[in-house]
Amino acid sequence: MTLPVLPPLLDLTGTAVFALTGALIAARLRQTFVTMAFFALVTGVGGGTVRDLLIGEPVFWLHDPWVAPVILATALVAWFTPSTWWAGKLLLWGDAAGLAVYSVLGTAKALAFDVAPLPAAIVGVISGCVGGIIRDVLAGQPSILMRPELYVTAAALAATLCMGGTLMGLPQGLVWSLAVLAGFVLRGAAVLWKIELPAYSRDA
């Protein structure tokens, strides 16, 4: 089983988008540049770091010459620009793409290192979502996790399709592309039409 290699530019763009969402929360909370850089880091690499710790592989950004500089650069851009530039739909769509891509990437990496199928999909969901969860906990904000809007669900769809297609022996490029697309479309639909999952209501 091989590991999906994202075109490096796409990969770094995804990291930068995630990092930007972290930096913007720090901006909204009127924080300093150092805090902003810290939030950019945690959000940008948090999910991938937990993924690598879980599967016992070297943490990816410690040996990569680009990830850390890109995150610092993202924090600098966020610092020197009005945050209204980034408040629109662009960031939401970028985040949706990052969510789908990293959920599939995490699942595929876990499968490649012999993690069992269902746990591998869970690792994928964690890769996609945990950076944002840590960001929200640190900021004292209600977490993505607690909002009814579809978010973790889109990650779960992407991860499950990646896991299922790989188990069925379908061509990997096809599996990865379809899984990313499905996660992105579901998250995008949730953003456009505010699709929500039903909440628990079985006790009166």
Give the interface with a copy of itself as residue ranges (CB under 8 A).
Answer: 26-27, 29-36, 38, 41, 49, 53-56, 58-59, 61-65, 67-69, 72, 79-84, 110, 114-116, 118-120, 122-123, 133, 137-140, 142-143, 145-146, 148, 152-153, 156, 196-204
Separation in Å, CA 121 to CA 7, 37, 113, 179: 22, 30, 13, 12
Whichever of 77 and 177 has its CB closer to a copy of itself, that residue is 77
Pick 119 or 188: Cβ nearer a copy of itself = 119
When the beta carbons of 171 and 202 are compared against a copy of itself, the nearer one is 202
CB of 28 vs a copy of itself, minimal distance in Å: 8
Q: How far is the CB of 104 from a copy of itself (least distance, A)?
A: 17
| Residue with smaller CB distance to a copy of itself, 66 or 177 | 66
Q: Do residues 165 and 178 lie in contact, with contact meaning Cβ atoms separated by under 8 Å?
A: yes
- Counted residue by residue, the chain has a size of 204
Residue 181 CB, shortest distance to a copy of itself, in Å, is: 20
The residue among 8 and 148 lying less far from a copy of itself, judged by its C-beta, is 148
Contact of 129 with 155, CB cutoff 8 Å? yes
Question: Rounded to 5 degrees, what angle do the CA atoms 91, 186, 102 make?
Answer: 60
Nearest CA to 152 among 99, 110, 107?
A: 99
* 66 φ/ψ angles, rounded to the nearest 5 degrees: -110, -35
149: helix, strand or coil: strand
DSSP H helical ranges for the chain: 8-28, 33-55, 67-80, 89-112, 117-139, 152-167, 172-193
> Whose Cβ is closer to a copy of itself: residue 192's or residue 197's?
197
Spatial distance between the Cα atoms of 165 and 11, rounded to a whole number of angstroms: 22
